[in-house]
Amino acid sequence: MIVPIVAAGESDACTQAEAIAATDADMVEWRADGMGTASQVGLVALALRLSAIVAGKPLVFTWRTADEGGLAATDAAYSALTRAIIDARAAALVDVQIRHPGAGRLIAAAKAAGVPVIGSWHDVGGTPPAPAIVAALADAEAAGADVAKVAVTARTPADVASLLAATRERFAVARIPLMTMAMGAVGLPSRLDGHRYGSQATFASVGPSSAPGQPSLDDLRRAWRDEARLDP
């Protein structure tokens, strides 16, 4: 279970980190694009501080660009900032958008620094056909990512079914862990049941959510407990 920090300022980010540290979350994602125009030096320092606060729960550094649903107005700082986090080893893992022009260089830098990479792709406009989702997961692995992540936007239950079918297909041959999810209220089943198809982690919130349709940590844990009681 991965819980996001989504904050516009350092104090709020640290408060959220403290709240998450007290939960049974497995990992923490810092959506640093929520910080807007904060300086690179300041963001690296804050990443180190957040890592210390959530000690024992690996921190994922993510700067999501606007075209993939990010909160920043521009992605001009994307490559330089992610590289600075890698060089400082300020986070346990970094998220690299595999379709960003700088992805190859960032993944190579992370490999050299011993920082694991989540290779991600987010379709904020809809859900592509299952073969395209399978291809995106395969592309992340081929690019050298340690984890492949695809998030789509579900408009109908058929979109969720397509994502889950693609996850199952890729899981059968993938050599790295997968994370898949359908964003939006319609996509909730993908977060509840994705593990049955090969998705090996999902996101839930303690404070602000980082994507549409993201459940709270308490709600997701409750749903899983209820599901476990119903399983034969």
What domains sit in the chain, N to C, each tagged with a CATH number?
2-226 (3.20.20.70)
DSSP-derived secondary structure letter, 29: E
Q: With 60 as the cut, is the pLDDT of residue 232 above it? A: no
Residue 3 · residue 29 · CB < 8 Å: yes
Structure confidence by residue, pLDDT tens digits, 7-36:
989 999 999 999 999 999 999 999 999 887
Q: What is the pLDDT of residue 231?
A: 59
Structure confidence by residue, pLDDT tens digits, 74-121:
677 889 999 999 999 999 999 999 999 999 999 999 999 999 999 999
* Mean pLDDT rounded to a whole number for the chain: 92
**Is residue 209 very low, low, confident or very high in pLDDT (cuts 50, 70, 90)?**
confident
Report the C-alpha gap between 94 and 30 in whole angstroms.
Answer: 10
Of 100, 111, 149, 195, the catalytic one is 149
Structure confidence by residue, pLDDT tens digits, 45-77:
999 999 999 998 999 999 999 889 888 756 778
Report the C-alpha gap between 152 and 135 in whole angstroms.
Answer: 14
DSSP-derived secondary structure letter, 145: -
Q: With 60 as the cut, is the pLDDT of residue 192 above it? A: yes
Q: Is 122 a catalytic residue?
A: yes
Report the C-alpha gap between 128 and 122 in whole angstroms.
Answer: 11
Q: Give the C-alpha distances (Å, rounded to integers) separating 203 from 29, 149, 208.
A: 9, 12, 12
Q: Is 149 a catalytic residue?
A: yes
Q: What is the pLDDT of residue 229?
A: 63
Q: Give the C-alpha distances (Å, rounded to integers) separating 195 from 1, 38, 186, 215.
A: 11, 36, 17, 16
